[in-house]
Amino acid sequence: MTTPDPLPPTTDATPANGLAIGSLVLGILSIVNTIIPVSNLITWVVALIGLVLGFMARKKPGGQGLAIAGIVTSAIGLLEFILLVVGMVALMAGHY
């Protein structure tokens, strides 16, 4: 009879970082909210909170990739909002 192979040693999984997940979710919401006409008024708030959560999450163990993704998506959402405001101001300035 053959003996079964022993199980390979398990590796300790790093715990999920809730701040990183929150940052990513808020970053995605800030990108989507820029497109929606009424909700784009709160985009800058959502993006700033996402950026803060992302930078806080980078200091904690686990979820470093999610934290960076949250920072990037929040920055993109904030940049979209700034471009939207600049574009609207430029359009309105042309009417005077």
CA max distance for the chain: 92
Distances (CA, A) of 81 to 28, 39, 44, 52, 71: 13, 11, 7, 17, 15
Whether residue 12 has pLDDT greater than 70:
no
Print burial letters for 38-77: b (CB count within 10 Å at least 16), e (below 16): eebeebbebbbbbbebbeebbeeeebeebbbbbbbbbbbb
Per-residue pLDDT of 33-58, as tens digits, reads 988 878 878 889 999 999 999 999 99
Tokens for 13, please give them: 């999984």
Mean pLDDT of the chain: 87
User: Rounded CA gap, 64 and 57, in Å?
Assistant: 7
| C-alpha torsion sign, points 14, 16, 17, 20 | positive
pTM listed for this prediction: 0.79
pLDDT for 72: 97
